[in-house]
Amino acid sequence: MKRTVIACSIFEDELNSVLQDPAYDVDVKWLHAGLHCDLELLEKSLVKILDEVKDTAEGPRLLIGDGCLPQMKDLAKSYQIPVLSYKNCVESLIGVDKLRELERDKTMVITPAWIRKVFIAPDGVRQILGWDNTDLKINFGRYDRFLVLDFGLSPLTDEETMEFFDAVEVPIETMEMDLDRFKNVISEFLA
């Protein structure tokens, strides 16, 4: 029987890349990225999927930051399944220490999926919270830059970068990274 992983689609490119390894037999149930903007909707979506898989999946796992929902650990405990032991997706990709180092000087560290699925997607934060570009500027204009981690899987296009910049008016830089650390995290998490 396949192991079921309930994952935030913010990880889609990275997780699909790691799961290409034939050692994994995993069925991924994707949560819509950006649901952490509406905690009630996130919990409702999680409970729905957990109820669907609780009796059919072999040892399901929650691959979502445990800081994305305040009661995440309690929810996972009530279903007796493990949850990723990182506060958010970026911590799991690069580690807590590296994230803190990169966040210095009012930098927000994100991945291309954050831009595509949360910030500029029509069904992202704009729809979830009813925001427009002014709201994005008010809420994210406090940063001096956005640092986009590029794992070489699906780099941002120039058009996506410009659309995001137009929405937040904060400089955007890119840093190339590898998936070695995340591969280890997933290997341990799915063991």
Encode pLDDT of 35-72 as tens digits: 888 899 999 999 999 999 887 767 789 999 889 999 99
pLDDT of residue 143: 96
Is the pLDDT score of 182 beyond 90?
yes
Place of tokens 């999926």: 113
Copy the structure tokens of residue 19: 């799961």
Encode pLDDT of 1-32 as tens digits: 688 999 999 999 999 999 999 989 999 999 99
Encode pLDDT of 168-179 as tens digits: 999 999 999 999
Encode pLDDT of 62-101 as tens digits: 999 889 999 999 999 999 999 988 999 999 999 999 999 9
Is the pLDDT score of 121 beyond 70?
yes
Identify whether the C-beta of residue 112 lies closer than 8 Å to the C-beta of residue 154. yes
Is the pLDDT score of 155 beyond 70?
yes
Residues whose CB is less than 8 angstroms from the CB of residue 186 and which lie 6 or more positions away in sequence, other chains included:
15, 18, 19, 63
Domains for the chain: give ranges and CATH numbers: 3-88+180-190 (3.40.50), 90-176 (no CATH)
Tell me the C-alpha to C-alpha distance, in Å, between residue 165 and each of 50, 115, 125, 155, 170. 37, 10, 16, 16, 6
